[in-house]
Structure 1
Amino acid sequence: MASFVKTNSSDKKSLLDLAGGSGRLACLLAKNGYQVSLLDISSQMLSIAEEHADEQNLKINFYQDDMTDFFLNESFQTITCFADSINYLPDKVSVKKTFARVFDHLAAKGKFLFDIVTSHQINVGYRNFMYNNDDDPEKIFVWSSFPGEEKNSVDHDLKFFIYDKKLDAFRLYREVHHQISYPIEFYQRTLLEAGFKNIKISADFGRSKVKTNTDRVFFIAEK
């Protein structure tokens, strides 16, 4: 991973992307002048992210850690956590821990931006959901979703069929992802308990108000 570089918390461009995955957002932000750090629990995803950064000659700091219990010796003006990563946290306690860690790593007046998929999306949008990507005959992706055991939860069954020339056959790689959503009021209350203020919510990437059938909610909270 890239070596640690101290970020000046007074710089309005300092940003930490939590659960940054393959680094596509981090690279986009770095291209736009942000001093970006990326944190993810997966070493495989961090390796991919670092490759993307190297290919584009971008300077990004990478950290492997759990967003519910991370400690970096620096603060940031902005912390992001998108692609409904908060929904992957297993329970309410984990959400509370994450918000507390984010608050501790923000500079004064810093902002936390994140999104969640709503219970409407989980119960309606993902009902009988199936997606197939077979554009590449050697890499086939099948995504199916099923109701989870907990209220307002869903299990995503992801299957990857990768053609192996040596075997002249497809290898199956499978992942099951679990997501859960809580009422919007829970996230608002938990942000307040962590010390945040000026909490704003919106839909459609900030372009519209949240409704009962909104599938994704965007949050902005200030320290």
Structure 2
Amino acid sequence: MTFYEDFSKVYDQVMDQSLYDDWLAFTKRHIAKSSKSIFELACGSGALSVLLAQNGYDVTALDISEDMLKLATKKAKSAGVEITWMQGDMRYLPPFAKFDVVTCYSDSLCYLSDLSEWGLAFEGVYSLLEEEGVFIFDVHSTYQIDEVFPDYSYHENEEDFAFLWDSYKGKVPHSIEHQLSFFIKEKDDQFVRKDELHVERTYESAEIVKMLNSVGFSCITLFSDFTDNSPSKDSARWFFICKK
């Protein structure tokens, strides 16, 4: 699993910021109006956590990367909101308070190495939810991984950094390898190159539902691409709504 060590330095500059509004809107449509507490897994730089807090939710957010949490803390302070930040691994969630809602967005589960690790995360989430609580997450579809990502290339050149993103078919079914290269301007005006390999893997939706059922989720609905529509054969992103 990547820790986004160098990616964190340019993450907000290369990430499509409008997606956070989409995740916020999707979340609000699919949780009870009485929901108060939200646990955000893999919160990254905290953009969605801040939006949730600004919308009146009591937010706790977890990420594996200390660098990302530093960015998130600064973002929350600038926005004037209170959020409980936790560093940790979604596969090994600690006993904690119960929550009305748990989210895990931005295909974060796809960074886990196999479906058994997804199961560990699902078990932890189930234990964190209140009775009738809701778990919402998204993942890449098999179409996105198998047909869209291979040979994808994205390059960005700014005054203080350059960012190269090239994707290649992975070594196991429904997997992709993203080769990231950063050229980051240091205080002495010299550029330093850093490289990271990000490996993602997804599964057939039926396999994911089966794993969710095995840990106790019994009411599962599947949508696609930030809409309330069922997935089609060329949907890029699957959204799962799971009720405890």
What's the TM-score once normalised by structure 1's chain length?
A: 0.91
Normalized per residue, the structure richer in strand is: 1
Normalized per residue, the structure richer in helix is: 2
| CA offsets 1:173-207 (integer angstroms, 9 cap, x no match) | 21111000111001111111111122000112133
Equivalent residue for 2:57, pick from 31, 34, 37: 34
Shift of 1:208: 2.1
Larger CA Rg, structure 1 vs 2: 1
Which residue pairs with 1:141 in the alignment?
163
Q: What SS does structure 1 have at the residue aligned with 2:168? A: strand
Structure 2 unmatched runs, 5+: 1-33
Question: What is the 5 A alignment of 1:1-223?
Answer: 12-134=35-157, 136-164=158-186, 166=188, 168-223=189-244
| CA offsets 1:71-127 (integer angstroms, 9 cap, x no match) | 132010000000000101111110011000000000010000000001111111112
Q: What SS does structure 2 have at the residue aligned with 1:68? A: helix
Structure 1 unmatched runs, 5+: 1-10
Which residue pairs with 2:10 in the alignment?
none
Aligned AA for 1:14?
S
Which residue pairs with 1:4 in the alignment?
none
Aligned AA for 1:159?
S
Q: What SS does structure 2 have at the residue aligned with 1:149? A: coil
What's the TM-score once normalised by structure 2's chain length?
A: 0.84
